[in-house]
């Protein structure tokens, strides 16, 4: 029996794994465990998580593309010698930047750290980024700018329970983190849950029956909704002026920018009735601490962040929270709901293009000196910042004057072919590489394109740490042996480093890697220096709920709530920044008259690489689908259950139409969990937010057409 956490999302539900004696590994039995985020609850993905480990097509040996063009089993020596030899040759001929690395927010802290270190010290390439750019980059940019630090929830999730009101923008928590819904019970009882989503999602329905209010804006117009709410707060004298004076800068500019967005003007752009905006603004104000309320939380999810104005929208949400005097007060605050299992820790320890461990900036001379000393290298040997993910992917294999894109890519923990925006062009870029190496534990669509596939251990087969959506550092524990020859990435990176002649040490024991990570993070914003596996184990044995960073060596209790005294900015005040609405990059137009929004469904996880291999989940949601309103269906001749095609400027996708009145009639919704002709990322845009580099997954313009019966398979 091992106490561990679910392998999937950032809620990191506590669970125990038992392996019946005599049974093979995947027969492990999951049982929920008391942990503050899930309190004994699990979703269907968590319950069935162990079965993926025994998937019939689990990768158990390295694969190398042979002369026949097929991937064929190879020994570890053959595969690693081949990879190291080709990486060395490319670097010698074209320079170190000719090799690129793509990481993932599902990797443990130890693996993410080792990957960043490997890129900077062995490959010496600036070209490393990761799938968190698709996920948390806008929230991170907005929080860093306003608060000087980015911890998704700067308070324990349980704090939500006491609030009078929760404003949830672009998050479908009831499907993406079901056990977290219990933390909304308090605000629902008090009639204070406000959900903003163009769909009447499962989460939006939680606001029915007097539990709160659902606002359904035109996709991509949340910034206007937020400016309208701020306008009402200011116009009706509901702002917390003493707090604004004592704890913020920039309020005057922000107030001026909101003055131009009176509710009726907002209604014209967002479609949200002006009276609803007033009602919500008053509800939030009456629950806010300055008016004697129980407290308010403003929370954002991918629905508002995966946008070319994602950072601006997060900034507007933070401005609203600051105007109400919420951040840095017990019982109130602003937070962004981190997505991937280690989406928080994965964005702290150096797999981000501009980052060194401890959430340090790679262009900061003091940070370079500190981390280089831990790694035993010359600070001047460390590369500078690289390109954010979408730009990096676009540059792969590109050859033109003055533009020599990477020729090799190592992928660790992402299934780009399905999950990257404008995916058809990503496949073209991957195919133009001299060498594609994919580490995975199942043959994902991306692995199937690779020249070399390296089988890894995952989750219940390894020790490590993860950092939950609240910045709580927790232990992942090994319960079973990995099948066949699957090896940990820590070992793979060490073996490649050795073959590439590096003198830098790459320990393979996760506890030792963590010790080094802790030293490298010391003094940085995400300081783990007071932590070790032993300390985390001891804390859990005393039924401590994990430790929240920063945990500097001098403050071993950790920091559940940030900003209570000051923000992490030079002057200690939160920075308010005026922002304005520009609209999506790909707005509806003749030829593409319908908004397409994308997202998730409870039973499937991300690219589906894992959940499509779980029979129970596959049975519940067996095929890709598109949600549309019957009014739109009638108008376009797309009946319920028929096959429908969505066409954008990038390409087309086909799926089964599902009629529902839970969506705006000018909008269709499609989850992104499928590959091939059902992969919605064939039509999404790869336009990005100018500050965060985050792609605009959530909104694009499509033409919606029925697929004639004879053409539909």
Residues found near ligand MGD in the complex (CB under 6 A): 9, 104-107, 131, 134-135, 169-173, 175-177, 196-199, 201, 219-220, 222, 301-304, 306, 339-340, 412-415, 418-419, 439-442, 444, 456, 458, 489, 597-600, 602, 604-607, 609-610, 669, 672, 680-681, 684, 697-699
Kindly tell me which of 283 and 374 has the beta carbon lying closer to ligand MGD.
283
Q: Does 204 bind ligand SF4 (CB under 6 A)?
A: no
Distance CA 408, CA 425 (A): 17
The item of ligand SF4, ligand MGD, Mo ion, none sharing an interface with residue 187, based on CB under 5 to 8 Å by kind, is: none
Question: Does the footprint of ligand SF4 cover residue 35 (CB under 6 A)?
Answer: no
The minimum distance between CB 143 and ligand MGD, in angstroms, equals: 15
- Applying CB under 6 A, among 17, 19, 28, 42 the residue interacting with ligand SF4 is 42
Following DSSP, what letter does each residue of 171-223 receive, concatenated?
--HHHHSGGGGGGGHHHHHTT-EEEE-SB--HHHHTTTTTTEEEE-PPTT-HH
695 binds Mo ion (CB under 5 A): no
452: tokens are: 């070399």
User: If you search the block for the tokens 């003493």, which residue do you land on?
Assistant: 242
Q: Tell me whether residue 106 or residue 327 sits nearer to Mo ion (CB atom).
A: 106
Query: Nearest to residue 594, comparing CAs of 623, 639, 636, 651?
Result: 636
CB of 658 to ligand SF4, least distance (A): 23
Treating both helix axes as pointing N-terminal to C-terminal, what angle do 274-287 and 222-235 enclose, rounded to 10 degrees? 60
Intra-chain end-to-end CA distance of the chain, in Å: 48
Which of Mo ion, ligand SF4, ligand MGD, none interacts with 598 (beta carbon under 5 to 8 A by kind)?
ligand MGD
**Alpha carbon distances (Å) from 281 to 155, 165, 335, 347, 524:** 23, 11, 18, 33, 37
Cis peptide before 159 (omega within 30 of 0): no
Alpha-carbon span 532 to 554, nearest angstrom: 14
Q: 8 or 130: whose CB is closer to ligand SF4?
A: 8
Nearest distance from C-beta of residue 108 to ligand MGD, angstroms: 7
Q: How far is the CB of 274 from ligand SF4 (least distance, A)?
A: 37
Q: Does 339 bind Mo ion (CB under 5 A)?
A: yes
Interacting residue with Mo ion among 135, 238, 322, 700 (CB under 5 A):
135
Using CB under 6 A, pick the residue from 6, 163, 437, 551 that binds ligand SF4. Answer: 6
Dihedral angle computed from the Cα positions of residues 143, 147, 153 and 158, in that order, rounded to the nearest 10 degrees: -150
Number of residues that bind ligand SF4 (CB under 6 A): 14
Characterize the bridge pairing of strands 63-65 and 71-73: antiparallel
Instruction: Give the integer Cα–Cα distance in Å for 193 and 191.
Output: 6
- With respect to ligand MGD, which residue has the nearer C-beta, 145 or 613? 613
Burial 78-94 (b: 16+ CB within 10 A, else e): ebbebbbebbeebbeee
Does residue 601 touch ligand SF4 according to CB under 6 A? no
Which window, 42-50, 58-66, 421-429, 642-650, contacts ligand SF4 (CB under 6 A)? 42-50
Shortest distance, position 614 Cβ to ligand SF4, whole Å:
12
Distance of CA 710 to the CA centre of its chain: 40
603 is written with which tokens?
A: 């039973």
Contacts to ligand SF4 from residues 162-201, by CB under 6 A:
177-179
Q: Of 697, 652, 657, 699, which Cα lies nearest the Cα of 676?
A: 652
List interacting residues with Mo ion (CB under 5 A): 135, 339
List interacting residues with ligand SF4 (CB under 6 A): 6, 8-9, 11-13, 38, 42-43, 45-46, 177-179
């Amino acid at each position: 029996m091992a106490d561990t956490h679910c392998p999937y999302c950032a809620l990191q539900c506590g669970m125990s794994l038992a392996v019946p004696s005599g049974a093979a590994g995947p027969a492990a039995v999951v049982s929920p465990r008391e942990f503050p985020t899930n309190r004994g609850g699990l979703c269907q993905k968590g319950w069935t998580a162990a079965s993926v480990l025994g998937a019939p097509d689990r990768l158990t040996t390295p694969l190398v593309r042979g002369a026949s063009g097929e991937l064929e089993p190879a020994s570890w020596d053959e595969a690693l010698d081949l990879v190291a030899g080709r990486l060395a040759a490319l670097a010698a001929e074209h320079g170190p930047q000719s090799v690129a690395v793509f990481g993932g927010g599902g990797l443990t802290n130890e693996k993410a750290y080792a990957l960043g270190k490997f890129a900077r010290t062995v490959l010496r390439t600036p070209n490393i980024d990761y799938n968190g750019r698709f996920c948390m980059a806008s929230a991170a940019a907005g929080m860093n700018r306003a608060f000087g630090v980015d911890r998704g929830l700067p308070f324990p999730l349980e704090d939500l329970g006491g609030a009078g009101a929760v404003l949830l923008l672009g998050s479908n928590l009831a499907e993406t983190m079901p056990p977290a819904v219990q933390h909304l019970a308090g605000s629902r009882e008090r009639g204070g849950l406000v959900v903003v989503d163009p769909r009447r999602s499962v989460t939006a329905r939680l606001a029915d029956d007097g539990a709160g209010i659902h606002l359904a804006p035109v996709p991509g117009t949340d910034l206007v909704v937020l400016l309208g709410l701020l306008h009402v707060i200011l116009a009706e004298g509901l702002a917390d002026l003493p707090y604004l004076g004592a704890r913020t800068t920039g309020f005057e500019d922000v107030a001026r920018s909101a003055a131009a967005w009176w509710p009726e003007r907002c209604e014209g752009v967002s479609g949200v009735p002006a009276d609803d905006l007033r009602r919500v603004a008053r509800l939030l104000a009456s629950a806010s601490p300055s008016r004697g309320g129980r407290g308010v939380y403003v929370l954002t999810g991918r629905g508002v962040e995966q946008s070319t104005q994602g950072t601006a929208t997060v900034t507007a949400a933070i401005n609203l929270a600051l105007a109400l005097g919420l951040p840095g007060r017990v019982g109130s605050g602003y937070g962004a709901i981190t997505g991937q299992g280690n989406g928080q820790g994965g964005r702290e320890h150096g797999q981000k293009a501009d980052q060194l461990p401890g959430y340090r900036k790679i262009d900061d001379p003091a940070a370079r000196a500190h981390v280089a000393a831990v790694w035993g290298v010359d600070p001047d040997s460390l590369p500078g910042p690289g390109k954010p993910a979408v730009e990096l992917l676009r540059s792969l294999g590109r050859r033109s004057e003055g533009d020599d894109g990477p020729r090799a890519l190592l992928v660790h923990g992402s299934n780009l072919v399905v999950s990257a925006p404008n995916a058809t062009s990503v496949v073209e870029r991957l195919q133009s590489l001299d060498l594609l190496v994919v580490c995975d534990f199942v043959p994902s669509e991306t692995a199937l394109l690779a020249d070399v596939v390296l089988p890894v251990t995952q989750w219940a087969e390894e020790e490590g740490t993860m950092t939950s959506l609240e910045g709580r550092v927790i232990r992942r524990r090994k319960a079973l042996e990995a099948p066949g020859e699957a090896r940990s990435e820590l070992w793979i990176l060490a073996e490649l480093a050795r073959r590439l002649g590096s003198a830098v040490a790459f320990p393979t024991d996760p506890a030792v890697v963590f010790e080094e990570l802790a030293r490298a993070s010391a003094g940085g914003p995400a300081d783990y220096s007071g932590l070790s596996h032993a300390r985390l184990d001891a804390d859990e044995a005393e039924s401590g709920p994990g430790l929240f960073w920063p945990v500097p060596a001098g403050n071993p209790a950790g920091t559940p709530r940030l900003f209570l005294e000051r923000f992490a900015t030079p002057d200690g005040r939160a920075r308010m920044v005026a922002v304005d609405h520009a609209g999506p990059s790909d707005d509806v137009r003749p030829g593409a008259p319908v908004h397409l929004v994308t997202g998730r469904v409870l039973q499937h996880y991300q690219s589906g690489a894992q959940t499509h291999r779980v029979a129970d989940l596959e049975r519940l949601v067996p095929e890709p689908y598109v949600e549309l309103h019957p009014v739109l269906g009638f108008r376009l001749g797309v009946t319920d259950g028929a096959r429908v095609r969505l066409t954008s400027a990038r390409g087309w996708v086909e799926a089964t139409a599902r009629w529902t009145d839970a969506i705006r009639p000018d909008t269709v919704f499609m989850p992104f969990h499928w590959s091939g002709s059902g992969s919605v990322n064939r039509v999404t845009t790869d336009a990005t937010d100018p500050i965060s580099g985050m792609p605009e997954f959530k909104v694009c313009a499509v033409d919606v057409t029925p697929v004639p019966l004879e053409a539909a398979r």
